[in-house]
């Protein structure tokens, strides 16, 4: 059996507003818990602010892991380097094209309407390593895979995957 396995980890750009919200909620938590020692119902609001700070912190630091195994691409979200969540699973057979984000191969898809999903770092670097995947006719997914990852998918679907 000819199976290939490649994984790639991409860190998402740190979210400034979520980091600020986390800090603000932490300060609000301390104030409300101290005030809750005097007036009990305020203590409940303090615990709610603590929960909000926890979830804001989880989503402020996010990574994406791409995994290619046996003609399937799996994307997982890793929140705050501690919690893993399955984002999506893509079948290579349903991919229309996988090409660099500025590739001329994507010119035929410029005037079509797509539902966009971004699983990249969110940063445009030089050279730009992000890829666009047109999936199932109606979705455009942005990824930032390694060269080995793209070559593994290209070995299975050479007419759909381009390295430019």
pTM, whole model, 2 decimals? 0.79
Q: What is the DSSP string of 11-65?
A: EPPP-HHHHHHHHHHHHHHHHHHHHHTTSHHHHHHHHHHHHHHHHHHHHHSEEEE
What rounded mean pLDDT belongs to the chain? Answer: 88
Whether 90 shows a pLDDT value over 90: the answer reads yes
Whether 131 shows a pLDDT value over 90: the answer reads yes
pLDDT value of residue 88: 92
Whether 64 shows a pLDDT value over 90: the answer reads yes
């Amino acid at each position: 059996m000819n199976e290939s396995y490649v994984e790639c980890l991409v860190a998402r750009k740190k979210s400034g507003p979520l980091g600020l919200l986390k800090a603000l909620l932490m300060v609000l938590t301390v104030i409300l818990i101290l005030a809750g020692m005097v007036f009990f119902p305020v203590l409940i609001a303090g615990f709610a602010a603590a929960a909000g700070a926890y979830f804001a912190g989880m989503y402020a630091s996010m990574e994406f892991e791409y995994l290619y195994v046996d003609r399937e691409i799996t994307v997982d979200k890793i929140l705050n380097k501690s919690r893993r969540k399955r984002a999506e699973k893509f079948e290579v057979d349903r991919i229309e094209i996988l090409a660099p984000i500025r590739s001329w191969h994507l010119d035929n898809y410029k005037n079509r309407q797509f539902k966009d999903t971004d699983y990249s770092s969110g940063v445009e670097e030089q050279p730009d390593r992000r890829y666009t995947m047109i999936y199932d006719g109606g979705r455009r997914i942005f990824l930032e895979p390694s060269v080995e990852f793209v070559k593994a998918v290209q070995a299975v679907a050479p007419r759909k995957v381009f390295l430019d």
